[in-house]
Amino acid sequence: MKDNFQHIFNLVQKGDRQAQKTVFDMFSNRLLFVASSYIGNLHDAEDVLMEAFFKAFTKIETCQNANVFSAWLRKIVVNESISFIRKKQNILYVDSDFIENKAESFSDEILENEEEIDLKALMDAMPTGYKIIFNLVVFEDKKHKEVAEILNISEGTSKSQFSKAKKFLADFILKQKIEKQNVEKS
């Protein structure tokens, strides 16, 4: 499998269209979910994904090798998603000097005991500013300093928005849990 992908990667570097299609087919579903988790709507996420693949294929020589291609491509998708949001939406990050270590009423137990979380519904409902920072910290494993540099905000703002995103997550899950209990009682 690894040798096979290395061969495909080499063909992509040479501009082979069939190899590009193969790579697109291999990665597009997973990366569409990534783009959608930032953008929140499938139509725009598909556009971002196409732009990301175009950029990847035209700049393939900057990718070091086949072993890092997946992470390199994901980074392009994340960056394109953030660029799209910056162009299309006015995001207001409220800077806060006072950051609590735990969001008010955030409870890890809520998350640990929850079996079914509708991640798409959660990401669609989450405010854009929270969502971007949440995704970068949780899914891209970025530190707040890195997030601050990427988004041109203060590290405190990144921490504050992440704290608010965690509270939003806990409230969202609690609300779904209550709604589910109410339906079961009916």
How is residue 153 written in tokens? 């905000």
pLDDT for res 97: 39
Q: Give, in order, the Cα–Cα distances in Å from 148 to each of 132, 145, 162.
A: 11, 5, 12
Amino acid at 152: N
pLDDT at 21: 97
Domain ranges of the chain: 2-88, 108-185
> C-alpha angle with apex 93: 92 to 99, nearest 5 degrees?
155
Cα(11)–Cα(144) distance, integer angstroms: 38
pLDDT tens string, the chain, 186 residues long: the values are 567 999 999 999 999 999 999 999 999 999 999 999 898 888 999 999 999 999 999 999 999 899 999 999 999 999 999 999 888 865 545 444 333 333 333 444 444 544 567 777 788 888 988 999 999 999 899 999 999 998 889 999 999 999 999 999 999 988 888 888 888 887
Q: What is the pTM of this model?
A: 0.72
pLDDT at 152: 87
What CATH class is the domain 2-88?
Answer: mainly alpha
Q: Choose which CATH entry (3.50.50.60, 1.10.10.10, 3.40.50.1440, 3.40.50.300) describes domain 108-185.
A: 1.10.10.10
Structure tokens at 22: 């193969």
Q: In angstroms, how far is CA 116 from the centroid of its own chain?
A: 20
Question: What is the pLDDT, as a whole number, of residue 67?
Answer: 94
Residues 6+ apart with CB under 8 A from 111: 169, 170, 173
